[in-house]
Amino acid sequence: MIVLPLLKGLKLTLKRFLNPFSIITIQYPEKKREVSPRWRGIHYFAKDEKGETKCVACGLCQAVCPSNVITIEAAEEPGGTRYPKRFLINLTRCIFCGFCEEVCPKDAIKLGRNYEFVNYKRSDFILNKEDLLNYDLVKP
Protein backbone atom coordinates (compact mmCIF):
# COMPACT_ATOMS: atom_id res chain seq x y z
CA MET A 1 0.00 0.00 0.00
CA ILE A 2 3.01 2.23 0.25
CA VAL A 3 3.33 2.20 -3.57
CA LEU A 4 0.26 4.33 -4.26
CA PRO A 5 1.32 7.46 -2.29
CA LEU A 6 4.80 7.05 -3.78
CA LEU A 7 3.40 7.05 -7.30
CA LYS A 8 1.24 10.07 -6.51
CA GLY A 9 4.32 11.92 -5.28
CA LEU A 10 6.30 10.96 -8.37
CA LYS A 11 3.46 12.11 -10.63
CA LEU A 12 3.44 15.52 -8.94
CA THR A 13 7.22 15.79 -9.15
CA LEU A 14 7.20 14.95 -12.86
CA LYS A 15 4.36 17.38 -13.52
CA ARG A 16 6.32 20.20 -11.88
CA PHE A 17 9.57 19.16 -13.52
CA LEU A 18 8.18 19.09 -17.05
CA ASN A 19 6.10 22.25 -16.83
CA PRO A 20 8.33 25.34 -17.41
CA PHE A 21 5.63 27.63 -16.02
CA SER A 22 5.72 26.01 -12.63
CA ILE A 23 9.19 27.31 -11.74
CA ILE A 24 9.07 28.45 -8.17
CA THR A 25 12.74 29.06 -7.37
CA ILE A 26 14.37 32.16 -8.87
CA GLN A 27 18.08 32.96 -9.07
CA TYR A 28 18.07 35.65 -6.39
CA PRO A 29 19.76 38.16 -6.15
CA GLU A 30 20.45 38.24 -9.93
CA LYS A 31 16.72 37.92 -10.55
CA LYS A 32 14.22 39.63 -8.34
CA ARG A 33 10.62 38.86 -7.74
CA GLU A 34 8.08 41.57 -8.62
CA VAL A 35 6.38 42.90 -5.55
CA SER A 36 2.72 43.74 -5.26
CA PRO A 37 1.68 47.28 -6.33
CA ARG A 38 0.51 47.71 -2.75
CA TRP A 39 3.92 46.86 -1.34
CA ARG A 40 5.21 49.28 1.30
CA GLY A 41 8.99 49.45 1.31
CA ILE A 42 11.64 51.96 2.24
CA HIS A 43 10.60 55.60 2.43
CA TYR A 44 11.69 58.38 0.12
CA PHE A 45 10.91 62.04 -0.46
CA ALA A 46 9.05 63.20 -3.57
CA LYS A 47 10.81 66.22 -5.07
CA ASP A 48 9.51 69.54 -6.38
CA GLU A 49 10.62 71.09 -9.71
CA LYS A 50 13.80 72.41 -8.04
CA GLY A 51 14.74 68.95 -6.85
CA GLU A 52 14.01 69.83 -3.23
CA THR A 53 11.70 67.93 -0.94
CA LYS A 54 8.02 68.78 -1.11
CA CYS A 55 7.86 68.45 2.67
CA VAL A 56 6.75 71.57 4.53
CA ALA A 57 7.54 70.17 7.96
CA CYS A 58 3.92 70.29 9.09
CA GLY A 59 4.54 67.44 11.50
CA LEU A 60 1.43 65.42 10.60
CA CYS A 61 3.42 62.29 9.75
CA GLN A 62 5.26 62.58 13.04
CA ALA A 63 1.97 62.91 14.92
CA VAL A 64 0.28 59.96 13.18
CA CYS A 65 3.23 57.55 13.32
CA PRO A 66 2.22 54.74 15.71
CA SER A 67 5.83 53.77 16.31
CA ASN A 68 7.00 57.29 17.00
CA VAL A 69 10.00 56.95 14.71
CA ILE A 70 9.87 60.27 12.87
CA THR A 71 11.82 63.29 14.11
CA ILE A 72 11.37 66.66 12.42
CA GLU A 73 13.08 69.97 13.02
CA ALA A 74 11.27 72.67 11.07
CA ALA A 75 12.77 75.88 9.68
CA GLU A 76 11.53 78.78 7.57
CA GLU A 77 12.97 80.31 4.42
CA PRO A 78 13.11 84.15 4.20
CA GLY A 79 9.87 84.08 2.16
CA GLY A 80 8.12 82.21 4.96
CA THR A 81 8.09 78.76 3.34
CA ARG A 82 8.61 76.02 5.86
CA TYR A 83 10.97 73.15 5.26
CA PRO A 84 12.47 70.34 7.32
CA LYS A 85 15.91 71.38 8.53
CA ARG A 86 16.23 67.90 9.98
CA PHE A 87 14.06 64.90 9.13
CA LEU A 88 14.82 61.44 10.50
CA ILE A 89 13.06 58.10 10.23
CA ASN A 90 14.27 55.26 12.40
CA LEU A 91 13.57 52.15 10.35
CA THR A 92 14.51 49.76 13.15
CA ARG A 93 11.14 50.46 14.75
CA CYS A 94 9.04 51.39 11.69
CA ILE A 95 6.21 48.95 11.05
CA PHE A 96 5.68 50.10 7.43
CA CYS A 97 2.03 50.87 8.08
CA GLY A 98 2.07 53.67 5.50
CA PHE A 99 0.18 56.14 7.73
CA CYS A 100 2.86 58.80 7.15
CA GLU A 101 2.34 58.54 3.38
CA GLU A 102 -1.44 58.59 3.75
CA VAL A 103 -1.60 61.63 5.98
CA CYS A 104 0.92 63.83 4.14
CA PRO A 105 -0.91 66.86 2.68
CA LYS A 106 1.90 67.51 0.18
CA ASP A 107 2.43 63.94 -1.05
CA ALA A 108 5.98 64.47 0.09
CA ILE A 109 6.74 61.21 1.83
CA LYS A 110 6.36 57.94 -0.03
CA LEU A 111 6.98 54.32 0.70
CA GLY A 112 9.00 52.80 -2.10
CA ARG A 113 9.18 49.27 -3.44
CA ASN A 114 12.50 48.24 -1.99
CA TYR A 115 12.55 45.18 0.22
CA GLU A 116 16.33 44.79 0.47
CA PHE A 117 17.71 46.81 3.30
CA VAL A 118 20.61 45.35 5.21
CA ASN A 119 23.31 47.11 7.16
CA TYR A 120 26.07 46.30 9.58
CA LYS A 121 25.22 49.08 12.00
CA ARG A 122 21.88 49.93 13.57
CA SER A 123 22.64 53.62 13.07
CA ASP A 124 22.55 53.06 9.29
CA PHE A 125 18.85 52.24 9.55
CA ILE A 126 18.12 55.84 10.49
CA LEU A 127 17.31 57.69 7.27
CA ASN A 128 17.94 61.44 7.15
CA LYS A 129 16.69 64.06 4.73
CA GLU A 130 19.51 63.41 2.24
CA ASP A 131 18.86 59.66 2.26
CA LEU A 132 15.18 60.29 1.63
CA LEU A 133 15.95 62.64 -1.24
CA ASN A 134 18.57 60.34 -2.71
CA TYR A 135 16.15 57.54 -3.48
CA ASP A 136 18.63 55.86 -5.81
CA LEU A 137 20.47 54.69 -2.72
CA VAL A 138 17.54 52.77 -1.43
CA LYS A 139 15.40 51.71 -4.38
CA PRO A 140 15.70 48.20 -5.80
Residues binding ligand SF4 (CB under 6 A) = 55-61, 64-67, 69-70, 72, 89, 94-100, 103-104, 106, 108-109
For the bound state, the minimum distance from the C-beta of residue 17 to ligand SF4, rounded and expressed in Å, comes to 42
Nearer to ligand SF4, 106 or 113 (CB): 106
Q: What are phi and psi of 44, to 5 degrees?
A: -150, 165
For the bound state, the minimum distance from the C-beta of residue 28 to ligand SF4, rounded and expressed in Å, comes to 25
Question: Are 99 and 65 a contacting pair, CB within 8 Å?
Answer: yes
Q: Residues 26, 28, 31, 36: what is their CA dihedral angle, to the nearest 10 degrees?
A: 80
Nearer to ligand SF4, 20 or 37 (CB): 37
Burial class (CB in 10 A: 0-12, 13-18, 19+), 26: exposed
For the bound state, the minimum distance from the C-beta of residue 87 to ligand SF4, rounded and expressed in Å, comes to 7
List the strands of the sheet with 70-76, edge to edge.
70-76, 82-90, 126-127
Nearer to ligand SF4, 61 or 133 (CB): 61
For the bound state, the minimum distance from the C-beta of residue 22 to ligand SF4, rounded and expressed in Å, comes to 35
